[in-house]
Amino acid sequence: MWNREPVGGPFALTDHTGQTRTDADFRGQFLLIYFGFTYCPDICPTDLQAMAQAVDQLGPAGELVQPLFISVDPERDTAEQLAQYVPSFHPRLIGLTGDTEAIRQAADAYKVYYAKVPRPGSSEFTIEHTGFVYLVGPDGRYRGFFPPGTSAERLVHVLKQHLPRP
Ligand code: NI
């Protein structure tokens, strides 16, 4: 039932270069938004790679698509940490982080579940999280989501239905 509720909304976060970014900064662009964390061993890298490949496979139309990675691990994912991480996927991938409150607000807006889970027998922790890719239109409105593990080809197929015809 949750997908009947409004998804998306305002956010104010810090990008991987240390600049404040809000949702309003991205009007006019299609957004592919993914919530995850840089220490995620496999799911996040796989989905981010698919997003990056999709943007490239779209060719010139891909310029209209801005991929965003919003951290759900504000303790470890500093702007500096994100700056090490995002360029390995795509030169235009923007990493966003913030304080616990700001991250929670952004995640709640997108109905993202995440929780800190301690690793047994150590002081380390991991983050359980949902891994949907959200599509937001140039007007800032939510267009839909892709399930975790969606291929680049599938992303391209659906994005082409939303992007203006060349
Ligand atoms: Ni992950």
Ligand 1 center to residue 148 CA distance, Å? 10
Indicate the pTM of the whole model: 0.94
Mean pLDDT in residue range 83-107: 97
Find the 131 Cα to ligand 1 centroid distance in Å: 7
> How many C-beta neighbours within 10 Å does residue 141 have?
11
| Res 165: pLDDT | 80
Phi-psi category of residue 143: left, alpha or beta, with phi > 0 → left and psi -120 to 50 → alpha: alpha
Distance 24 CA to ligand 1 centre (A): 26
Is pLDDT at 2 greater than 60 in this prediction?
no
* Residue 73 binned pLDDT confidence (cut-offs 50, 70, 90): very high
- Residues 46, 3, 154, 59: is their CA dihedral positive or negative? negative
